[in-house]
C-alpha cells in the first residue's frame, strides 16, 4: 500500500531537464543522448509518522534553503535527505554537500537525517552539528535519536525577508552615496564659477582705478 509519494521539485539542469527547451535549446536533445526530460513536482509533500512528520529532499534539493523551508512551514518536524553522491567520487564535493545541507537544519531549527548511497550518511541536529556520520564508501548503518523543540524559526516564518531588507538597504546606501557625490561635484562647480566672477570683478576694478 502506497501511503504517500513526493515528486522531486528541484530538477538538475541538463541531467533531469533541459532549461529553455521549448525556446532556445530546443535542438539540444537531438545532439546529446541521455539528457533527462522529467517534469518537476509541484507539492512539497509532508509524510506522517505516528507521532511526527517529515519532509524529503532528494539529492541536491538539500542545497536550496527555500525548498527546505516549505516542508517545515507545512509541519515537518525533521528533514530527510536521500542522495546519490557517487557522481563526486573521493573529491571535496561530498563534504561540501553535507555541510550545505546541515545549514537547512540551522535555518529551520529542525534535525536532518541523511542517507547517501556512497556516504556521507549522517544525523545533523538543529544547531547544525553532525551527531553521527558514516565514512565514504563504507557499508554500514546508523541508529540515532533525534529531538526537536516545538519552535518556529525566523527563517521558517519569514523566509528571505531579512536578505531582502539587506539588499534594499544596500541599494538605498548606494543611492544616497551617489546623491552625495553628485551634489559635492555640483558644489565644486558653483564655487569655481563664483571664484571666477570675483576675480573678473577685481580685475575690472583695478583697471578702473588705474584709468
Q: What is the pLDDT of residues 32-56, one digit of tens each?
A: 666 677 888 999 999 998 888 999 9
Domain span holding position 142 = 44-159
Q: How far is CA 211 from the centre of its chain?
A: 79
Please work out, in degrees rounded to the nearest 5, the angle formed at the alpha carbon of residue 111 by the alpha carbons of 108 and 117.
120
**The C-alpha cell that represents 108 in the structure block:** 529551520
Shared-domain flag, residues 66 and 149: yes
What gap in Å lies between CA 115 and CA 122, rounded to an integer? 7
Dump pLDDT digits (tens) for 61-113: 999 999 999 999 999 999 999 999 988 889 999 999 999 999 999 999 999 99
Q: What is the pLDDT of residues 116-160, one digit of tens each?
A: 999 899 999 999 999 999 999 989 988 888 888 788 999 999 999
47 close to 53: Cβ distance less than 8 angstroms: yes
Residue indicated by cell numbers 570675483: 198
CB atoms within 10 A of CB 95: 13
Q: Tell me the pLDDT of the chain averaged across its residues.
A: 85
Residues 118 and 171 in one domain: no
- pTM, entire model: 0.77
For residues 188 and 124, membership in a common domain is answered with no
| Residue after which a domain boundary falls, among 140, 159, 178 | 159
Amino acid at each position: 500500500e502506497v501511503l504517500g509519494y513526493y515528486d522531486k521539485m528541484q530538477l538538475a539542469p541538463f541531467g533531469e531537464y533541459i532549461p529553455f527547451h521549448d525556446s532556445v535549446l530546443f535542438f539540444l536533445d537531438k545532439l546529446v543522448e541521455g539528457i533527462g526530460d522529467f517534469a518537476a513536482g509541484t507539492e512539497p509533500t509532508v509524510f506522517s509518522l505516528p507521532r511526527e512528520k517529515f519532509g524529503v529532499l532528494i539529492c541536491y534539493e538539500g542545497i536550496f534553503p527555500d525548498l527546505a523551508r516549505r516542508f517545515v512551514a507545512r509541519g515537518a518536524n525533521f528533514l530527510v535527505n536521500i542522495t546519490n553522491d557517487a557522481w563526486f567520487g573521493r573529491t571535496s564535493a561530498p563534504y561540501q554537500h553535507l555541510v550545505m545541507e546541515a545549514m537547512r537544519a540551522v535555518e529551520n531549527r529542525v534535525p536532518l537525517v541523511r542517507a547517501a548511497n556512497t556516504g556521507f550518511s549522517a544525523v545533523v541536529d538543529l544547531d547544525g552539528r553532525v551527531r553521527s556520520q558514516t565514512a565514504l564508501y563504507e557499508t554500514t548503518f546508523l541508529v540515532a535519536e533525534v529531538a526537536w523543540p516545538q519552535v518556529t524559526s525566523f527563517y521558517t516564518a519569514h523566509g528571505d525577508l531579512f536578505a531582502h531588507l539587506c539588499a534594499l538597504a544596500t541599494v538605498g546606501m548606494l543611492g544616497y552615496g551617489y546623491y552625495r557625490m553628485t551634489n559635492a561635484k555640483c558644489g565644486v562647480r558653483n564655487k569655481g564659477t563664483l571664484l571666477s566672477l570675483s576675480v573678473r570683478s577685481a580685475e575690472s576694478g583695478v583697471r578702473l582705478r588705474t584709468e
